[in-house]
Amino acid sequence: MTPAELLQSQVTQEEAAAALKSYVLSTPSPPDDVTLDTPGTPENALIYGLALAEEHRSQDRANYAAAAYRSTAPIEYLRIHSTEFFGLPVQAAGYATTTMGVTNTTGNLYGPFEPGELRVVNDATKAVYENTAVVSFQPAQLSPFLAWTGSFAVRAVEAGTVSNAAIGDIDRLETALDGITVTNTQPASTTDDESKESINRRIDARIGLLGVAGAEGLSSGGPATAAESIALSGRDSGGGCLRADGTRVQVTRTKLVRNDTTGISTIYVGDDDGPLDPADLTVVGDEVGFYAEWVTSRIATANVVAVVIAIDADLTIRNSKLSDSEIDDLIEASLPAASLTVPIGGFDVSPNNAVPIEYLEGTLREPLIGKATVVTIAVTLPAADVLFAVNEVAILQLGTLTITRIP
């Protein structure tokens, strides 16, 4: 074991001292290209070993410095950075799957159809799904008549939530077969590619897991952000807490609050839309509770409460080729991501936690940078800072936007 490896390993102080002493005595000097004041001495070897260890620590600091650029980094960089530097695999869009029920009212035998040969359609969304295994439709019994029924599994052709469907939404064969009717007997659901906001939030929590302070009411962020990291990424760091069916709960908002009176901390969790589904909240609570038991801590898991903030504003601009409706659409499209940047419980604005008017004005201005010269922005609704309870999350919505253009 080299001095660099020794200094980064988990050994006792006595073991480290003994190993370093042995290394010093067995190493008369560093390589010829290293020049020190007293070459060939044990002190020289020790300094050389410490320098190697510092080199590794400096590289770690460089990695964390690189992480500071995550706010403006492209999604491709974040995916690599999250996986390689922080051990957090990034969730890719999945392909929705479901089970189709089928009825045959004719005496015809159809099939066998090889995987991908049989396609069904959701007429409302135009999403297409293909059979995942060989399937045949048996004929009906004609005398006395008894329709044949069966089932087969399908997988969406297009990745992402565009192919999600409720029970009964997928109800047509792409190429019709006489006497055959189909309908999905289970929901079809999956997730989209993980967003930049979600990746960054999980990295922030993982950095906290390594000892960066981050939780309200705690002098050290270690225990707090460790619980938050588990809620965001799961115990296996796989991108969310695992449900029983192997899918993951996508928590995107967390906040841990300490209570010195009861001794029980509370971690508030939510997703992009606000509160979690009650079943998903139970899954996250079980994962966090498992962690808490190992560190002999007491942590309760609770849902957030969504607070819709409707924003009316007067906007004065010049030097823009965008139409009023294009400006309106641009700002409206930016608000979901802006909502996620508001911490649970609002910003710490003395003497209360709130979502300030100034923040809302900046939120409206940001999507117009480089597309219009903004002369003034005045938020008329809400009329004042919006006060937030400790468990509330902001859902920003655009109300009436009045646009004035000047030469």
| pTM of this structure | 0.54
Task: Give the pLDDT of residue 40.
Answer: 54
Characterize the bridge pairing of strands 392-405 and 305-318: parallel
Q: Which residues of the chain have pLDDT under 70?
A: 1-14, 16-17, 19-69, 205-225, 295-296
**Can you tell me whether residue 317 is helix, strand or coil?**
strand
Residue 362 neighbours by CB under 8 Å, 6+ apart: none
Q: Do residues 221 and 208 make contact, with C-beta atoms less than 8 angstroms apart? A: yes
Task: Give the pLDDT of residue 74.
Answer: 78
Task: Give the pLDDT of residue 312.
Answer: 96
Q: Do residues 382 and 399 make contact, with C-beta atoms less than 8 angstroms apart? A: no
Residue 310: Cβ within 10 Å count:
12
Q: Do residues 243 and 249 make contact, with C-beta atoms less than 8 angstroms apart? A: yes
Task: Give the pLDDT of residue 53.
Answer: 60
Task: Give the pLDDT of residue 147.
Answer: 95
Task: Give the pLDDT of residue 23.
Answer: 60
Residue 256's Cβ-side half-sphere holds a number of Cα atoms within 13 Å equal to 32
Measured CA to CA, the distance from residue 376 to residue 378 in angstroms comes to 7
Task: Give the pLDDT of residue 91.
Answer: 79
Task: Give the pLDDT of residue 68.
Answer: 57
Per domain, the residue ranges of the chain are 3-72, 97-184, 196-303, 306-405
Cα dist from 187 to 30, 116, 164, 170, 319, whole Å: 66, 20, 8, 9, 49
**Neighbour-count burial of 290, counting CB atoms closer than 10 A to its CB (0-12 exposed, 13-18 middle, 19+ buried):** exposed
Task: Give the pLDDT of residue 21.
Answer: 66
Task: Give the pLDDT of residue 101.
Answer: 96
